[in-house]
Amino acid sequence: MTTQTLGHIFRSWPCQNAIVALLLVFTAAFLWKLSRREYWRLAARELRSRKGAMVCAAILCLYASIAVLDSVGWRSPAIDPTTGNIIRVNGHVVLDEGRSVLDRLLQPLANRREKTYSAPLGTVQFTKSTVKGRDGRMHRVNEPLAFPRSHLLGTDMIGQDVLLQALKSIRTGLIIGLLTTLLAVPFALLFGLCGGYYGGWVDDVVQYFCTVLSSIPNVLLIAALMVVWGQGLPQLCVAMGIASWTGLCRLLRGETMRLREADFVSAATAQGVPGWKILLRHILPNVLHIVLINLVLRFSSEVLAEAALTYLGMGVGAGTMSWGTMINDARTELTRNPVIWWKLCAAFTFMLGLVLPANIFGDAVRDALDPRMRTQ
């Protein structure tokens, strides 16, 4: 099976829906399992007592639900644009490419296409065009919009609504922020725990790989991977995952080495519990907080990195909507006179709206999970 057909299956709607459902079920199961432990219940209570953190969590949930709505979808019968009827071939209904739930909700917004730029809530086009007047002469006027006062954040060069683009970019941002670390976690856990627990040559090998990988500055490692693989969202996630797992691996290795000397591990060893069972039952639950802290703290920097990388030509590429591509477009728009500022402002606001709450919430989670902080 080639990677192309794999990618095709991966991008099909049933598969995407299944992945979203699996992720949600897994997260719920994980949280339920954690909630039965005293340590995590205390941390959750600590977190709930902070009003600011809870407001941030609510904003993050809003973003997440938009991203989920944009990831779940289905194919519907294709409609002939001229007649408005469902297309049938030999009596069989033909299906279209399929759209996500968010696409379907925002369909009115997508239908309100203009010809070119227009300011937020504007009534006329931004650029002047030559129109034949009633008196038969040619005039240079700002043509009225097809849908005046309906574009909250204006429209872009090809007349697309900027709000729609900013909303569609949320999914890309969240995938970059979450998937990158989620891809890195299994590797970091496996190598970090094994290196820390078994020591000896296992540890030497793990340490050597970590040192080699972390010796290459992240940007250039990502650049090299993206040059070799080409631009795209999946490639970017994997490249950023490869660049980021060594830090977490180091942390986990250190913590495992500390836990290996703990009394409860010695007790388990004395009772003849095999090594892998000690790792799974006794050490893994005790390093989970490091993984979680790492996940929330990395999130915002990954979202920010996407914008910079896309600008540098090693990001998601022009085909995928993201805040990076929006900022990239905005650069030429700012050199025009008068300035077209709304696309940049929209991307900036939506990005800040995600990254700022993520940063504040991340700090709160770290404080709540770190027992040293709690006692203060």
Partner 1 sequence: MARYFLRRILYFIPTLLGVNLFVFLLFFLVNTPDDMAKQALGEKASTPEQVLRWKAARGYDVPYFWNAQAPGIQRVTKTIFWQKSLRLLWGDFGASDMSLEPIGAELRRRIGPSLCLCVPIFLTSLFVNIVVAMLVASRHGTRLETCAQFLCVTTMSISALIYIIAGQFVFAKELKLVPVSGFLPGWDMLRFLALPVAIGVVGGLGSSVRFYQTLFLEEIGKDYVRTARAKGLPETRILFLHVLKNAMIPILTTVPVQMLMLIMGSLLLENFFSIPGMGGYTISAIAAQDFAVVRAMVFLSSVLYMVGLLLTDLCYALVDPRVRFS
Indicate the residue among 143 and 363 with the shorter CB distance to partner 1.
363
Q: How far is the CB of 300 from partner 1 (least distance, A)?
A: 6
Q: How far is the CB of 307 from partner 1 (least distance, A)?
A: 5
Q: How far is the CB of 42 from partner 1 (least distance, A)?
A: 23
Indicate the residue among 188 and 327 with the shorter CB distance to partner 1.
327
* SS3 letters across 262-273: CHHHHHHHHCCC
Q: How far is CA 145 from CA 52, 120, 126, 347, in A?
A: 42, 12, 9, 23
Q: How far is the CB of 58 from partner 1 (least distance, A)?
A: 17
CB 125 within 8 A of CB 142: yes
Residue of 353, 360, 367 whose CA lies nearest to 293: 367
Indicate the residue among 145 and 304 with the shorter CB distance to partner 1.
304
Residue of 19, 320, 58, 308 whose CA lies nearest to 171: 320
Q: How far is the CB of 315 from partner 1 (least distance, A)?
A: 11
* DSSP labels, 10-46: HHSHHHHHHHHHHHHHHHHHHHHHHHTSHHHHHHHHH
Please give the angle made by the CA atoms of 223, 360 and 285, to the nearest 5 degrees.
80
Burial profile 144-168: b = 16 or more Cβ within 10 angstroms, e = fewer: ebebeebbebbbbeebbbbbbbbbb
Q: How far is the CB of 106 from partner 1 (least distance, A)?
A: 25
Q: How far apart are the first and last CA of the chain?
A: 57
Indicate the residue among 53 and 265 with the shorter CB distance to partner 1.
53
Q: Which two tokens stand for residue 322?
A: 């993201």
Q: How far is the CB of 324 from partner 1 (least distance, A)?
A: 8
Indicate the residue among 96 and 204 with the shorter CB distance to partner 1.
204
Q: How far is the CB of 8 from partner 1 (least distance, A)?
A: 20
Sequence-ordered alpha helix ranges (H) in the chain: 3-11, 13-35, 38-48, 51-71, 101-105, 107-111, 162-198, 200-215, 218-229, 233-260, 263-270, 275-278, 284-311, 323-333, 342-369, 371-375
Q: Which two tokens stand for residue 123?
A: 């009534």
Indicate the residue among 71 and 320 with the shorter CB distance to partner 1.
320
Question: Residue 118 pairs with which residues in a beta bridge?
Answer: 155
Indicate the residue among 125 and 231 with the shorter CB distance to partner 1.
231
Indicate the residue among 106 and 360 with the shorter CB distance to partner 1.
360
List interacting residues with partner 1 (CB under 8 A).
208, 211-213, 215-221, 223-229, 300, 304, 307-308, 311-314, 323-324, 327, 330-331, 334, 339, 344, 348, 351-352, 355-356, 358-360, 363
Residue of 120, 127, 185 whose CA lies nearest to 154: 120
Indicate the residue among 150 and 359 with the shorter CB distance to partner 1.
359
Q: How far is the CB of 209 from partner 1 (least distance, A)?
A: 8
Write down how long the chain is: 376
Residue of 50, 35, 43 whose CA lies nearest to 375: 43
